[in-house]
Structure formats: structure tokens, C-alpha cells
Amino acid sequence: MAYVILSPCETEKAGECATVCPVDCIQEGQDQFYIDPDVCIDCGACVNVCPVDAIVEEYDLTEEQEPYLEKAEKFFGHI
């Protein structure tokens, strides 16, 4: 399981999540930040600091949110 960054990040891009990540699995993309699902250790530190509540667990994604996991996988070259 991993965390996924959703649409609120597209307008905010605050970056606190990347700062607190203990395994450096969060990187800034052109339109938002992304979490590498293969590196994320599910600690939740990023969730606690996100000012726009844009980060959710992979298994809590709705059908409409699933493309954000696919975007992250593509960003990190996993698909």
C-alpha cells in the first residue's frame, strides 16, 4: 500500500509533504507532487502536514481518484 496525492495539490503545491518524508519518495512534477508507490513506507507523515488534505491511502481511492495513482506510476516510470 502507498499514499497518493490528489487534485488539491494541483492548485497548492505547498511541498511540506516532500520535506517530512523519511524515505524521500515524494517528488515535484510539473503540475503537482507525486509519491513513488514502490518506495513509500506508509508512515503517514505526509498526510499530517498537507495543508489541503490532498493525500490519501491507495486503498481509499474512489474510482474517480484512481487516475492519480496511474499518474504517479507513470511519473516514476513504473508503467
Q: pLDDT digit string (tens) for 22-75?
A: 999 999 999 999 999 999 999 999 999 999 999 999 999 999 999 999 999 999
Identify the DSSP state of 61: -
Q: Which residues pair with 26 in a beta bridge?
A: 35
Phi, psi of 68 (to 5 degrees): -70, -30
Structural domain spans, the chain: 3-75
pTM of the model: 0.93
pLDDT at position 78 over 90: no
Q: Does domain 3-75 have CATH number 3.40.50.620?
A: no
